[in-house]
Amino acid sequence: MNYKMKAARAALGLSQLDLAKAIGVSRQTILLIEKNEYNPSLLICKAICHALNCSLNDLFWEDTKK
């Protein structure tokens, strides 16, 4: 589950549909990305980051420090 993306979206008060419309994809695409069942293109990742005011590192890179 991509909790970082879901949390960033929720923090801005956006639904999956709101985000999908903002970047020109379906709500199902956002759902699948958040569930880690779809590997989006770099173009979609960048659009998501722009819409959520985050960087690629913020949303898509896993923190390997434990």
Which value, in Å, is the radius of gyration of the alpha carbons in the chain? 11
- Give the pLDDT score at 65: 64
| Confidence at residue 62, expressed as pLDDT on a 0 to 100 scale | 76
Domain extent listing, the chain? 3-60
Is residue 9 a contact partner of residue 52, using CB atoms and an 8 Å limit? yes
Protein fold of 3-60: 434 Repressor (Amino-terminal Domain) (1.10.260)
The pLDDT profile of the chain, 66 residues, written as one tens digit per residue, is 889 999 999 999 999 999 999 999 999 999 999 999 999 999 999 999 999 999 999 998 876 665
